[in-house]
Amino acid sequence: MEDKQSMMNTELSRLGNTPLVQYEYDNHKIFLKMENANPSGSMKDRAATNIIGSTYKNGVINDDTRIIESSSGNFGVALARVCKEYRLKFTCVIDANINIVNERMLRLYGAETIKITEPDNNGGYLLGRLEKVREIISKSKNIYWTNQYENPLNMESYYSLADEIINDISDPDYIFIPVSSGGAITGISRRIKEINPRIKIIAVDSIGSRIFNCSVQKRCIPGLGSSIVPPILKMAKIDDVVQVKEEDIIQECHDFFEQNSMMIGGSSGATLQAVKWYRRLRKLSNNSKIVAIFPDCGDRYINTIYNEKWCKSNIKPKEICSVNNA
């Protein structure tokens, strides 16, 4: 246990305190929270580290426990990394939309992967992945589902991110947060509202996602949106919602790369596009302090977002960007 305690302390020391950098757009300074600086390259390291560390410390899991999760994105990679550190077995239920970089990273970290290839009634794979997780659990002993869509530990993992923002910029006016499993925006929003209820929390989603009760359409960019409404989102404190077209997300990623020589992930591109669109629509003052969460890096999207052939094959025009009051 002493070795594992030392491991927990090491994990925590690697985590968070990510840069908050200034980005200027149309004479407006926007603060970008660069979560790609976490160990596996995304904000999901916070949740993976907290969930595994807390459950191990409290005796919910032990050295013989198998961890299981449904994820084709950053959370799966983050869990695989932490499980490798703890020497825990990990099964990740993925789907046909997973990008090749994430799939290779999962295997490099030693995860067992089970791929769902048949789409569900919504045209996506999430329902099928969750069904497979439940099926495996029903036939297994000493298995723990991290369950990012419902686990309160997921939400609590992001209190530290909120604290970091306030420590770096004490009085932001708006914080833009992309939504997928719902854990990050729930944790950040609750913590921020405790500190300063005046700060506006703006959720960023993709058109075609069900999260905010819109019609479900096929989506191709992972890490943003969902074909279910995450139960954990009921506890979030959201002021506004911006939904972004996938083609606009891709264009934002490419524009950012051309201007800054830096690849960003799809959810980061969506968040920046949402900031620009919301700023124009709401006629925000150039003095408004805006923080945009950039969840991950762009290098793992080299075969998708930054691949012209993939973009032409997968991205079809959708409805216009929209804002809904939460």
Query: pLDDT tens digits, residue range 202-247?
Result: 999 999 898 997 778 888 888 898 888 999 999 999 999 999 999 9
Residue 177 is encoded by which pair of tokens?
A: 């947060």
Tell whether 216 and 277 lie within a shared domain.
yes
Residue 60, domain extent: 45-145
The pLDDT-based confidence of 320 (bands split at 50, 70, 90) is: very low
Q: Within this chain, do residues 131 and 191 fall inside the same structural domain, yes or no?
A: no
What is the pairing mode between strands 322-325 and 112-116?
Answer: unpaired
Classify the phi-psi angles of 17: left when phi > 0, otherwise alpha if psi is within -120 to 50, otherwise beta: left
3-class DSSP assignment, residue 13: helix
100-108 helix and 74-86 helix, angle to the nearest 10 degrees: 10
- Are 182 and 308 members of one domain? yes
pTM beyond 0.85, yes or no: yes
- Confidence at residue 271, expressed as pLDDT on a 0 to 100 scale: 97
Residues 12 and 64 in one domain: no
Query: Of the residues 90, 118, 145, which one is the last residue of a structural domain?
Result: 145
Q: In the predicted model, is pLDDT for residue 323 greater than 70?
A: no
Has residue 326 been placed in a domain?
A: no
- Structurally, how many domains does the chain consist of? 2
Same domain (yes/no): 295, 174: yes
